[in-house]
């Protein structure tokens, strides 16, 4: 059973400056919740309750967000606003949170390696909070889907989606043997290839399940694309020696690392999640009132 989930959150968020000058980019809100909370909710839904963060300087707000604010709770008690804290309070009660720091920015592979002590010798998930994933119509989140794939194959799993050919340079891109039902057994993996060098248009998005041997593989991985230690290269070693599965998930994904994706996600969540929740709440309140 997978119980752990790692969030690399040390990045600077330069694309959102000046908003991210003194605030972590993961705390930017999509409507009324910070981006990182959506990722933790997705992990919680998948039954991953040991949450580790690889943070950096200037990221304390994330640790504060996943801790109880007694002062605030006391302040709003009896004001009718208590329910606004329910979602975060439930996450805090149901999960354990630990933090470690990445002192050097040497790439995603290095960030994941920095979380080794938090994840230990168990398989674990990785969430890049920039990628906001909204559950499929049946309500099953992307991580919950991936946990099932892991249980079937017992090897690392990456989430993929088809992207236009002129976008492949932004992603890790896979090639694989098509096994049906959106599953591929990975045969090749290239970090941010040019359009000409891309092995396909199947791009890795920010959801992974990794077996713990990944840590030794990362340690032996030389800096790759852009001089950074790439998780894609370490995963390629796992694929060569054993197995890595790629999975075309069900649901929607927004690239909230870009301004356009962030705005798109905001509009989507406002219309399809926030307004619906409000309408449901109003209906419940009305029922209660008429009793
Ligand atoms: C990272 C990974 C890349 C992956 C992407 C998904 O890149 O290195 O393989 O496709 O996340 O969001 P980054 O976006 O951090 O540059």
pLDDT score of 271 more than 80: yes
Can you say whether the dihedral through the CA atoms of 169, 175, 181, 185 is positive or negative? Answer: negative
Q: How confident is the model over 41-48, as a mean pLDDT? A: 97
User: Ligand 1 pocket by C-beta < 6 Å: which residues?
Assistant: 108, 128, 131, 171-172, 191, 203-206, 230, 232, 257
Q: How confident is the model over 33-58, as a mean pLDDT? A: 96
Question: What are 227-244's pLDDT values in tens digits?
Answer: 999 999 999 999 999 999
Mutate to test the pocket of ligand 1, among 35, 102, 126, 128 (most ligand atoms within 8 A of CB): 128
Nearest protein CA to atom 7 of ligand 1, as residue: 171
pLDDT of residue 252: 95
Contact 55, 101 (CB under 8 A): yes
Question: What domain range is 187 assigned to?
Answer: 4-290
Q: b/e per residue, 139-158, with b = 16+ CB within 10 A?
A: ebbbbbbbbebbeebebbbb
Total tally of structural domains belonging to the chain: 1
The CA 272 to ligand 1 mean position distance, Å, reads 27
Contact 44, 91 (CB under 8 A): yes
The CA 180 to ligand 1 mean position distance, Å, reads 25
What CATH number is given to the structural domain containing 218?
3.90.550.10
Question: What are 158-208's pLDDT values in tens digits?
Answer: 999 999 999 999 999 999 999 999 999 999 999 999 999 999 999 999 999
At 26, the pLDDT band (50, 70, 90 cuts) reads very high
Ligand 1 atom closest to the Cα of residue 171 is: 10
- DSSP conformational letter for 222: P
Angle, alpha carbons 242-4-170 (nearest 5°): 65
Mutate to test the pocket of ligand 1, among 35, 108, 249 (most ligand atoms within 8 A of CB): 108
Q: What is the largest CA-CA distance in the chain?
A: 67
Chain mean pLDDT for the chain: 94
- Which residues, in sequence order, are CB contacts of 60 under 8 Å at separation 6+? none
- Which residues, in sequence order, are CB contacts of 83 under 8 Å at separation 6+? none
What's the start-to-end Cα distance of the chain, in Å? 44
């Amino acid at each position: 059973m997978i119980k752990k989930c790692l969030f690399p959150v040390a990045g600077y968020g330069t694309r959102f400056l000046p908003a991210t000058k003194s605030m972590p980019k993961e705390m930017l809100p999509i409507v009324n919740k910070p981006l990182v909370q959506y990722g933790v909710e997705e992990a919680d839904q998948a039954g991953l309750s040991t949450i580790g963060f690889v943070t950096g300087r200037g990221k304390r707000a994330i640790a504060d967000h996943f801790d109880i604010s007694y002062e605030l709770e006391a302040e709003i008690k009896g004001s009718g606003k208590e329910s606004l804290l329910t979602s975060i309070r439930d996450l805090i009660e149901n999960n354990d949170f630990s933090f470690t720091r990445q002192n050097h920015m040497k790439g995603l592979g290095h960030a994941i390696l920095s979380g080794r002590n938090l994840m230990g010798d168990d398989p674990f998930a990785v969430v890049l909070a920039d990628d906001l994933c909204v559950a499929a119509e049946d309500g099953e989140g992307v991580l919950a889907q991936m946990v099932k794939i892991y249980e079937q194959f017992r090897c690392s799993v990456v989430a993929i989606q088809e992207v236009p050919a002129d976008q492949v340079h932004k992603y890790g891109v896979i090639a694989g043997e098509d096994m049906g039902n959106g599953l591929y057994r990975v045969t090749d993996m290239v970090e941010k290839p040019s359009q000409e060098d891309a092995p396909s248009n199947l791009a890795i998005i920010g959801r992974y399940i990794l077996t713990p041997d990944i840590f030794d593989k990362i340690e032996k991985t030389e800096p790759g694309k852009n001089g950074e230690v790439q998780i894609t290269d370490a995963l390629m070693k796992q694929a060569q020696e054993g197995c890595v599965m790629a999975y075309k998930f069900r649901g929607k994904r927004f690239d909230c690392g870009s301004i356009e994706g962030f705005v798109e996600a905001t509009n989507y969540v406002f219309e399809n999640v926030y307004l619906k929740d409000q309408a449901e709440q109003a209906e419940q309140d009305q029922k209660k009132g008429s009793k």
